[in-house]
Amino acid sequence: MAADASQRKALRYQQTLLYGEYREQLGNFARREAARLLTERQWRRQAGENTSATGRRGLGRRHHLHQNPAILESHQSHNSSTKKPQPYSKCQDCLARVRRYIVTKMGEDWIFLILLGLTMALVSWSMDYASAKSLQAYKWIHGELKGNVPLQYLAWITYPIILVVFASLFCHLVSPQAIGSGIPELKTILRGVVLKEYLTLKAFVAKVIGLTAALGSGMPVGKEGPFVHIASICAAVLSRFMSIFSGVYENPYGYTDILTVGCAVGVGCCFGTPLGGVLFSIEVTSTYFAVRNYWRGYFAATFSAFIFRVLSVWNKDAVTITALFKTNFRMDFPFDLQELPAFAIIGISCGFLGAFFVYLNRQVVLFMRRPTALTRFLTKHRLIYPGAVTLIIATFTFPPGFGQFMAGELMPRECINSLFDNFTWTKISDPVAAPGLGRSAAWLHPHVSVFLILLLFFVMKFWMSAVSTTMPIPSGAFMPVFILGAAFGRLVGEIMATLFPNGILFDGIVYRILPGGYAVIGAAAMTGAVTHTVSTAVICFELTGQISHILPMMVAVILANMVAQGLQPSLYDSIIQVKKLPYLPELALGHISKYNIFVEDIMVRKVKFLSSQSTFRELNHLLESTTLKTIPLVDSKESMILLGSIERTELQAVLDWWLSPERRVFERGSSSPGQGSKLSWESFSFVDEEGEESSDKAVSPVQEGCNGPIPAPGPQEPATNHTGSDKRKLSSVRRTLQRLFSSSSSSGQTETQEDVPPPLTDTMSPEEIKAWEEEELDKPVDMEEIRIDPSPFQLVERTSLHKARAAKTPCTVTCMKESCAFSHQLLGHKSKLI
């Protein structure tokens, strides 16, 4: 808990009542975190060299060996002679042969995708099975207490409160990152942002258990968003496991491809809809999609959905592999051309309603964040808010009470199945005498009209869904919004069936109204309006198994998107704004003025830079007077020819090392006879990948960090993380250098110990130290010893705002409405910095 608190403090992360909020721009943190990880890897290698008995003596010894080939050869022969031989194992040899055979015959991608699909199918089915049994027990308790209304009410509100409070408490203790949907965080991760602990096993366990409890409580929360997060975590963990087959999965550049496939599997396996799942994951999570991942997404999603439905058949939940919410609409004449205006009205209305849902959800979060006595009390006692929300919702849905006027006894999946049925409820006069109604009888009341029940259900579930998705539990909004759209579409369908009781006559053919078809169209339009996606139409016809209404469904979804996109951002983008995650909004089309804005109109012209002739004094002044994270490097101040860019952390480390007491003492000691050679700088940010492939390297344990598992640092590793104009000396560097310089070593084939000179002490007075530092600051910086990025992201003067937006570098570019600030891109003209 203390480690998590320190990480949140480093991130300036404030845990609020509903959603956490980042007080620092995560784009800046991402660059700093990447530099820190590279630095830690460098320290691990240096610490390993220091603790091993190979005879190396730190940096000076390392350079000395490279400069003397004879000594290096004897040094390597000594290592090979002293290394213990590995015992031969038949089991290990057999496993290695099997591994090579499997990889050769199947390939790494197929193995990874099959394992991912199989794992997620088992997790999805297990969660559905557990939540279904929980809901079954919930209704059984309510039914057993029939006749005793007070006890029924007590059981009806106590059961969901226990589960919701448990989910909230479990996630808060195990992994607060499991709270919410998870799709907004994945959108930022896929754009290159480093988020702590979002793709770890702790988050996986908290998300699975918390989501299962939330779904089993009967509250209007969804599974789709959290399950995308779960699948992405599973993909990230499996990629670490797959590294034993191939080193390709250790490549950080393939991390985005792995998460993209995980998102597709999450949606496809959640509902058993592989086609719509892949398309929905592309629309929701990616601004630009790599086509090379297309077949991976479809294969993994199809395999996962197949196993998911097979498990349902095996458990006797279904007779055969069918759609999740199977419908039986007629296929000969499903709808008439004259019904298209009604479908268009559904789409336009759902556009307005979806935008209002996003607005209401955001306003609830912002209201609960206001600094009032109530919010401070609820923040201090975290479990009161989810318990109070659950109590209010359960009270309104209590079947013998107000719930009898809004089908309160139906659980979410029962609502969908009943709203999609083929009955026309307005034509049923006696629900008791009507055969085959099943769960649909809950929508019929002897004293209340069907229209009033549907309207009450829509209004009450609208605010309940908007509020329940703000509870600090794993929850999605796709399924609650899907039910809202189905209820609205059913209401329009019943109105059409009342207006045309005998159907619509056209060309001698009578087309009867199907209210269930209207419900399907409304569900697709509402979810499309809230998420700003079109693939919800594909998900709907996969969910229902009916493609007969695909044309009116696409018309309604497109109209809903047109209306909603002009009013509000999508629900996921709204949460990104609320959480203050790095956000790169889309530039709206249709405004010609934005095409006439160029980067030269908004760029910063007075750019601080370094040249190849710069001194340490100029470097010191630059670091003290600016907060730039990346410094451009030019050939000279006269030519201004751009050579590349240097990270601030690199320059800060060079300057700290150049003025460090260790270097000052070492140089004074090296001036006397018998001392070692001059110490040279080695970039702490540079990582020698080839050096890490040695066969005798010990495998470091794995810990959870950043977006996924990373090798655990050694017990004595310092971490350097320079921020802003931080001028603190690298005490960790000093300690390590002292440890390296004072260590003894052996070389050659002889086992004799070298004579180690006594440790050097600093006897200079403060005046002498000041004079020495002034002298050293006037010396030029050796740029050849510093890691330089020779190809920084560059934009020419006449680059339009839309093309700059297409660069997709959210960590370094921030575009807000019609203004844009470029913090990392370098503007150039004829290879010159301007």
Q: Write the CB contacts of 147 (distance below 8 Å, at least 6 apart in sequence).
A: none
Q: Among 3.30.930.10, 3.20.20.60, 1.10.3080.10, 1.10.8.50, what is the CATH number of 337-579?
A: 1.10.3080.10
pLDDT in tens, 607-643: 777 887 888 888 888 888 887 777 888 877 777 777 7
Q: Phi then psi for 579, rounded to 5 degrees?
A: -80, -10
CB atoms within 10 A of CB 676: 14
The pLDDT assigned to 809 comes to 45
CA-wise closest residue to 676 among 741, 761, 721:
741
CA distances from 453 to 98, 227, 337, 405, 536 (A): 63, 32, 29, 6, 26
Q: What is the dihedral of CA 338, 339, 341, 343, to 10 degrees?
A: -160
pLDDT in tens, 6-37: 554 455 556 665 556 655 555 566 667 766 77
As a whole number of angstroms, the distance between CA 49 and CA 259 comes to 35
Write out the two tokens for 612.
């190849």
Indicate if 337-579 has the same CATH topology as 102-314.
yes
Q: Are 412 and 464 in contact (CB under 8 A)?
A: no
Residue with tokens 């099959």: 114
CB atoms within 10 A of CB 312: 20
As a whole number of angstroms, the distance between CA 834 and CA 832 comes to 6
Q: What residues does 833 pair with on adjacent strands?
A: 828
Q: What is the dihedral of CA 203, 208, 213, 214, to 10 degrees?
A: 70
The pLDDT assigned to 355 comes to 92
CA-wise closest residue to 261 among 194, 177, 186:
186
Burial 593-619 (b: 16+ CB within 10 A, else e): ebeebbbeeebeeeeebbbeebebebb
Write out the two tokens for 576.
């990104």
As a whole number of angstroms, the distance between CA 544 and CA 553 comes to 13
3-state SS, one letter per residue, for 34-69: HHHHHHHHHHHHHHHHHHCCCCCCHHHHHHHHHHCH
| Angle at CA of residue 720, ends 715 and 722, nearest 5° | 160
The pLDDT assigned to 77 comes to 45
As a whole number of angstroms, the distance between CA 378 and CA 361 comes to 18
Count of H-run helices and E-run strands, the chain: 29, 14
As a whole number of angstroms, the distance between CA 370 and CA 366 comes to 7
| Angle at CA of residue 240, ends 808 and 179, nearest 5° | 65
Q: Phi then psi for 610, rounded to 5 degrees?
A: -120, 150
The pLDDT assigned to 44 comes to 67
CA-wise closest residue to 476 among 285, 277, 223:
223
The pLDDT assigned to 358 comes to 92
Q: Are 33 and 10 in contact (CB under 8 A)?
A: no
Q: Are 641 and 620 in contact (CB under 8 A)?
A: no
As a whole number of angstroms, the distance between CA 701 and CA 708 comes to 14
Burial 74-92 (b: 16+ CB within 10 A, else e): bbeebbeeeeeeeeeeeee
CA distances from 234 to 229, 258, 281 (A): 9, 10, 16
CB atoms within 10 A of CB 382: 16
Q: Among 3.40.50.2300, 3.20.20.150, 3.40.50.2000, 3.10.580.10, what is the CATH number of 584-670+764-834?
A: 3.10.580.10
Question: How many residues are recorded in the chain?
Answer: 834
Cα Rg of the chain, angstroms: 32
Cα end-to-end distance, the chain, whole Å: 49
As a whole number of angstroms, the distance between CA 292 and CA 273 comes to 21
CA-wise closest residue to 492 among 446, 461, 525, 529:
525
As a whole number of angstroms, the distance between CA 536 and CA 273 comes to 10
Label the pairing between strands 708-711 and 702-705.
antiparallel
As a whole number of angstroms, the distance between CA 505 and CA 393 comes to 44
As a whole number of angstroms, the distance between CA 537 and CA 273 comes to 11
- Helical packing angle, 149-174 and 201-216, nearest 10°: 170
Q: Are 275 and 538 in contact (CB under 8 A)?
A: yes
Which amino acid is residue 131, in one-letter code?
S
Stretch (H or E) spanning 740: helix 731-742
- Please state the domain extents for the chain: 102-314, 337-579, 584-670+764-834
* Cα of 90 vs its chain's centroid, Å: 43
Q: Phi then psi for 338, rounded to 5 degrees?
A: -70, -10
Q: Are 463 and 168 in contact (CB under 8 A)?
A: no
* Cα of 86 vs its chain's centroid, Å: 42
CA distances from 287 to 585, 809, 810, 814, 834 (A): 10, 11, 11, 15, 30
Which stretches in the chain have pLDDT values below 50?
1-3, 8-9, 53-85, 248, 673-678, 681-734, 736-756, 808-832
Q: Write the CB contacts of 322 (distance below 8 Å, at least 6 apart in sequence).
A: 309, 545
Stretch (H or E) spanning 384: helix 384-396
Q: Among 3.40.50.2300, 1.10.3080.10, 1.20.140.10, 1.10.580.10, what is the CATH number of 102-314?
A: 1.10.3080.10
Which amino acid is residue 277, in one-letter code?
G
Instruction: Tell me the whole-structure pTM to 2 decimals.
Output: 0.68
Which amino acid is residue 397, in one-letter code?
T
- DSSP string of 210-255, one letter each residue: HHHHHHHTT-S-BSHHHHHHHHHHHHHHHHHHHTTT-GGGG-GGGH
As a whole number of angstroms, the distance between CA 121 and CA 119 comes to 5
Q: Are 47 and 56 in contact (CB under 8 A)?
A: no
DSSP state at residue 613: T
Assign 514 to helix, strand or coil.
Answer: coil
- DSSP string of 449-483, one letter each residue: -HHHHHHHHHHHHHHHHHHHTTSSSB-BSHHHHHH
